[in-house]
Amino acid sequence: MSPAELLDLLGRDFMQRALLAALLTGLAAPAIGTFIVQRRLALLGDGIGHVAVTGVALGLLTGASPTWTAVVVAVLGAVLIEVIREKGHTNGDVALALLFYGGLAGGVLISGLAGDGAAGLQVYLFGSVTSISPTEVWYTAVLALVVLTFTLGLLPQLFAVASDPEFAKVAGLRVRAYNLLVAVLAAVSVTVAMRTVGLLLVSALMVVPVATSQQLARSFRSTLLWAMVLGGVAAVGGLVVAAWLSARATVAPGPSIVLLALAMFAATWPVGVWVRRRRRLTEPFPALGTGTPGPHEVDEHPHQHGDDCGHPAVRHEDHVDYVHDGHRHAPHGEHYDEH
């Protein structure tokens, strides 16, 4: 497909709707995903996505909008898993497994009763953003706005609860209420993204941009903002790639969006390793304590430090320190300077 043909395709009404829905999804999913990753619940979106399959099937069975039935069922499932985790009746992994199996099996069974079978769930399982209707774009916009309003408006509180629940509780925050809010917003994000990347891949859009942002960002706030930018770029870029490839084969936008997000992570991972090493070497030394030994003569030191001495080397301004017996020191003339 030539660039002119691609631009003509992107200018059509259905592609304009698809691009807008993809951008909204790319912004909302990583926003709430940042808190989920911070709580080490990266697979929560996957579990909720499987539960939402049952909601979609209920919509197909009853003739109601699958989007709204999926929202209701996904929210109920998210609240249930949060309650199970908090009560400690079982661990998070087992609760997620129950949602995986029960949600997917229930969805396939109910869609069969509705006469659609698994084929009726296809557009929701793997996404079909190019067929999204104007009404569904409005649904997506409203739900994405709800997610962004709560996540950005309550950023300090949600960060405190996700990072240190005990401190948040002492500070007077209602930890249970905020945890439930994060679960509910995650459920809403899943239903927002189900027409874009599909329920089986939605968790990737909530987690991968966050993991990519963590390679470069230095604070939680910058991680969240960069994750939203990267999510938007991946969603829109993946859709454009799928449209460009459509001249040769039938390519679903969902997988191309996820693969583009993974490619961005693979590209930034080496940079992240280098940046973290650079930060570690340049971070200031802690103040000397009373137990830190003072400078001592070279003759008193039975060990010659160097590249092969086995002690970690840390660059310090114009010289190299070596970590030795709990402190860092460097040869200086006839003695060692202790740091």
> Can you give the pLDDT of all 339 residues of the chain as single tens digits?
777 777 877 788 888 888 888 898 889 888 888 888 888 777 777 778 888 888 888 888 888 888 888 888 888 888 887 777 777 655 556 766 777 788 888 888 887 887 766 666 777 787 777 777 888 888 888 888 988 999 998 888 888 888 888 888 887 888 888 888 888 888 888 887 877 777 777 888 888 999 999 888 878 888 999 999 999 999 899 888 888 887 777 777 888 888 999 999 999 888 888 877 777 666 665 555 555 555 555 555 666 777 667 677 776 667 777 776 666 777 766 667 766
Nearest CA to 195 among 239, 249, 246? Answer: 239
Contact 332, 326 (CB under 8 A): no
Contact 242, 261 (CB under 8 A): no
- Distance of alpha carbon 132 from alpha carbon 144, whole angstroms: 15
- Distance of alpha carbon 197 from alpha carbon 256, whole angstroms: 9
pTM for the full predicted model: 0.73
User: What type of residue sits at position 269?
Assistant: W
